[in-house]
Chain A
Amino acid sequence: MTTKLPEVDVVVVGVGWTGSILARELTKAGLRVVGLERGPRRTPGEDFTVPSIRDDLKYAVRQELFQDTQMETMSLRHARSETALPVRRLGAFLPGTGLGGAGAHWNGVTWRLLPTDHKLRTHLSERYGAQAIPDDMTITDYPVSYDELEPYYDRFEKLCGVSGKAGNLRGKIIDGGNVFEGPRQAEYPNPPLEQSVAGATFETAVKSLGYHPFPAPSSNASRVYTNPEGLTMGACIYCGHCERFGCESNAKASPGVSILPALLSDDKFELRCNAYVKDLVHDKTARKVKSVRYVDTRSGEDYEQPASLVILGAYVFTNNLLLLYSGIGEPYDPVTGKGSVGKNYCYQVGAAGVTVFFEDKEVNPFMASGAHGIMIDDFNGDNFDHGGLGFFGGAWIQAGPTNGRPILSRPVPAGTPRWGRDWKRATAKWYNHAFNIGGSCCNYAHRENYLDLDPTYRDALGRPLIRMTYNFKENDYRVAEYVTAVLGRIGRAMNPTLINTPAYRRGNFSAIPYQSTHNTGGTILGTDPKESVVNRYLQAWDADNLFIVGASVFPQNQSYNPTGTVGALAYWAADAITKQYMKSPGPLVHA
């Protein structure tokens, strides 16, 4: 039996980064908002406390805070001709669950896209000719320009108290910041974090090569900071337990630190945790979502919550699933190229990391923040000439450890055995004298990479799993090979005692090793309802009272970590709702 509840103004599905932002903005605008979160209620003050939060085994290895695959997982195949099998244990990526979502246990690297990323297809066509873009590379422009989004990037950065250094202040290029970034209206809210010897060594080397280093833009506050919500962050203590952990010093921006204390004290907001959303009730004729159905996992009771406005902020996989379960939009068909739900699923491609070893340097990798180190952007996006290279895109490159937690982080020179006497010698010898140089490459959309429903495997609620048909493609391999060569060049310029420069191996995407939780696409932004799921305001073409927020709207994935853009787009959508939609509910774009 399903209990039908009285109608509310807004239901927000998922109370992570995007759900919290939308709920906050809409309650501020006077609406009554219910937040439905599948996981438990967690608060930093009660759940992320020393000493227990420093438990490497529990949080980093046994995955305490992540989606429970016993409830729900995804299946994977590399091509349409194969049978997808379930990802039985999370590995490559780690979606969050519980209040705050993955925003509770992210690292905090906080980027804006390049202005050219915003108009990718147009830009590449203009510079290299439209025919240079391969047919099966289904990249598009964002229908929102960098200039339009700039105030919202700024807003999210202020919410998070991002520490960094501007490289382009209102058009003025500033040495020591990221000189490739688009113009920003203001300096970062906080100065950069302290650097490690690894960052300093990298900085000297890349300068000698003529590149442009800058400190990582970091949502780990370099000093005590009060954000526009009136909420105060502590200063980062460089504890080296950031990604995969909650932050006990409130120095890492998160929904729990940066928004929820304000939101939860507003009685126009009602939070329901353990509320697992199953589907949306869609009125196809009226082109509206009427209600949201969920099960309370504490009682097993089913509920239907009617609402005038529905926000999906439930991360890439659920955002796609709920459309597919509810018959909203046309599922993408890779054979005909028709349909759009599930289209342009993207991820990121790691280059082969280079490790440098210095007999005479003390790295102290355990003194680190999550978004640490020095970076360069010289080989990202279209910041370098791709003429004749045979690929598009690139990577941001970084050095400076983010932790020295020894279960997962023990660099040893190539050729060291994995166990026994010699393994131990090398491990003890190099632990404090080595660090990585890494690059995270973009992943441009490909016609054959997409999401749909698995025909065989089901979740604990009896619904089909989401199925990823996904593999790295030629462009990805070439970017990674190119970036790997750059990493090697930088590593050698540091004159290390030893260097591991593994050749990039062209392998299949693997679900096993962690790469990043930067999944994107499937409910993409666009200007044409046939080619996209949401319009430029993140409003669904097929239901004007449905807004979909999160990286599921990215038309393709850049090299950058997504959350800066995700947060900016969330504020942008909130503004469209409060300033336009609330005045006259209906489609904000007429296609």
Chain B
Amino acid sequence: MAGDTIPRRGFLVGVGLAGTAAAAGVAASSPASAEVPAPNQSSATEGAAAPGNREPEPLLALNEAEHAFIVAAVDTIIPADDLSPSGSECGVATFIDRQLASAWGGGAKMYRSGPFLRGKPEQGYQLALTPREFFLAGIAATNDWTRKTYGKDFDRLPASERIAALTALEEGKADLGHVSARQFFNALLTITMEGFFADPIYGGNRNMASWKMLGFPGLPATYANVIDQYRDKPYTAAPQSIADFS
């Protein structure tokens, strides 16, 4: 891989904080570093993965380079700011790794008989690849393209170039060869949002950071006694996860 010398996981663990802050376009001393929670964020960042002191999660589907790509991507899609920690700080990269290792990642509930023909977009996904295979192909193709375009793998790019690279993918302007840039970007965006907003039991949305950001109370979701009382009034309840009831 492009003759990298710094092992990626060490790189992430050691200087991830600064890297993330840079990706977010905020100074490293901003509230994003979880030292001074913003007023509306009283607990969103409390205990949120301060990258320096959380052990890397074991990887199930991705190799280290692929994981580094995903961390960089989810931190660009969900930058840290006063509203929430970054995507990877919220565990979204862990979520994606686990999803790709799950039955879904292996193509469960997906019709996989050929012939595999190129269809019209409205006919939906028509490739033989499982989600896991598709993501790995997309990551490799994007890194090939960023090396050609910027001289580096995606995760080694500064924040501004990561944003530019993802924008080129989103707009279909990056030529990823056999992989459709738009299709890969959309898959990446979708799974990132799933990880950020799903129940934390899947490894993302740590400390329910996204739910706190929205004001979504999570579970147990029993509102018969309050729907009337809170009509058109803010309902503030500390969110709870499935894990809090298990």
Write the residues of chain A forming the contact surface with B, with a CB cutoff of 8 angstroms.
50-52, 54-57, 61-63, 66, 68-70, 73, 76-78, 82-83, 85-91, 194-197, 200, 235-241, 361-362, 364, 366-367, 404-407, 410, 418-421, 424-425, 427-428, 431-432, 456-458, 507-512
A194 to chain B, nearest CB (A): 5
- Distance between Cα atoms of A52 and B202 in the complex (Å): 13
Which residues from B are CB-within-8-Å of A424? 78-79, 81, 83-84, 213
Contact: A51 with B246, CB < 8 Å?
yes
Q: If the complex has contacts A51-B242, A62-B109, are A361 and B232 also in contact, measured as CB distance less than 8 A?
A: yes
Which residues from B are CB-within-8-Å of A235? 224
Judge whether B228 is part of the interface by a CB distance below 8 angstroms: yes
Contact: B76 with A420, CB < 8 Å?
yes
Residue of A nearest to B233 (CB): A362
Q: If the complex has contacts A50-B245, A51-B220, A88-B110, are A367 and B227 also in contact, measured as CB distance less than 8 A?
A: yes
Judge whether B235 is part of the interface by a CB distance below 8 angstroms: yes
Interface string of B206-234 (1 = CB under 8 A from A): 00001101111101111110111011111
Q: Which of B84, B199, B234 has the most CB of A within 10 A?
A: B199
Judge whether B238 is part of the interface by a CB distance below 8 angstroms: no
Q: If the complex has contacts A239-B223, A510-B122, are A197 and B231 also in contact, measured as CB distance less than 8 A?
A: yes
- Distance between Cα atoms of A511 and B122 in the complex (Å): 6
- Distance between Cα atoms of A193 and B24 in the complex (Å): 45
Contact: B232 with A85, CB < 8 Å?
no
Q: If the complex has contacts A78-B120, A85-B126, A241-B221, are A421 and B25 also in contact, measured as CB distance less than 8 A?
A: yes
- Distance between Cα atoms of A478 and B115 in the complex (Å): 36
Interface string of B171-196 (1 = CB under 8 A from A): 00000000000000000010011100
Contact: B123 with A76, CB < 8 Å?
yes
Contact: A404 with B110, CB < 8 Å?
no
Contact: B79 with A458, CB < 8 Å?
no
- Distance between Cα atoms of A511 and B78 in the complex (Å): 29
Write the residues of chain B forming the contact surface with A, with a CB cutoff of 8 angstroms.
24-25, 76-79, 81, 83-84, 104, 107-113, 115, 117, 119-126, 163, 166, 170, 189, 192-194, 197-199, 201-202, 210-211, 213-217, 219-224, 226-228, 230-235, 242, 244-246
Supply 19 A–B pairs (Cβ within 8 Å), ascending by A. A51-B246, A55-B201, A85-B117, A89-B109, A89-B124, A91-B124, A194-B228, A237-B224, A361-B232, A362-B230, A404-B216, A406-B197, A421-B79, A424-B81, A432-B215, A511-B123, A511-B124, A512-B121, A512-B122
Contact: B223 with A367, CB < 8 Å?
yes
Contact: B112 with A70, CB < 8 Å?
yes
Contact: B222 with A420, CB < 8 Å?
no
Contact: B81 with A88, CB < 8 Å?
no
A536 to chain B, nearest CB (A): 36
Q: Which of A51, A76, A194, A419 has the most CB of B within 10 A?
A: A419
Which residues from A are CB-within-8-Å of B115? 456
Which residues from A are CB-within-8-Å of B119? 85
- Distance between Cα atoms of A34 and B119 in the complex (Å): 42
Which residues from B are CB-within-8-Å of A457? 113
List the 8 closest A-B pairs by CB distance, nearest first: A510-B122, A51-B245, A367-B223, A239-B221, A238-B223, A197-B232, A57-B198, A406-B197
Which residues from B are CB-within-8-Å of A361? 232
- Distance between Cα atoms of A91 and B235 in the complex (Å): 33
Which residues from A are CB-within-8-Å of B109? 62-63, 66, 68-70, 89-90
Contact: B213 with A428, CB < 8 Å?
yes
B110 to chain A, nearest CB (A): 5
Given A240-B221, A420-B79, 18 more pairs with CB closer than 8 A = A55-B201, A55-B242, A62-B109, A63-B109, A85-B117, A88-B112, A236-B224, A237-B223, A238-B223, A362-B232, A362-B233, A364-B227, A419-B189, A420-B163, A421-B79, A431-B215, A432-B214, A511-B122
Contact: A425 with B224, CB < 8 Å?
no
